[in-house]
Amino acid sequence: MHDLTIIVLSLSLAFFFAEFTVGAFWAIPMDIAPRYSGFASGFMNSGSALARNRLAAHRWLHHRPDGKWEMTFVAGIALCCSVRLAFG
């Protein structure tokens, strides 16, 4: 697809609808551990910040000068799969 207008509109709609999941995501600690929901929310926030920083490092390390980004996505997928296998 080479039409920039369609790409921008599609991404905008995707990000708009992705925001509907945020409320449910932050309600999980209150549902699972109501007495410790503050700690659980902080733990979730720290985990996502660490993951975000780690993925940024992967992007920086694996971006090749010829403009190919395949290794970045492969590294991100491998990271997600390894976390899934480690924590079940």
- Rounded to 10 degrees, what is the CA torsion of 11, 17, 22, 23? 160
> Is 61's pLDDT higher than 70?
no
| Per-residue model confidence (pLDDT) at position 88 | 67
* Residue with tokens 């290794």, as numbered in its chain: 71
| Per-residue model confidence (pLDDT) at position 60 | 66
| Per-residue model confidence (pLDDT) at position 9 | 92
Beta strands in 11-50 (DSSP E): none
Summarised one tens digit per residue, pLDDT across range 19-28 is 888 777 778 8
Tell me the C-alpha distance between 26 and 32, whole Å. Answer: 11
> Is 63's pLDDT higher than 70?
no
| Per-residue model confidence (pLDDT) at position 43 | 83
> Is 51's pLDDT higher than 80?
no
| Per-residue model confidence (pLDDT) at position 20 | 84
What number is the average pLDDT over the span 10-30?
A: 84
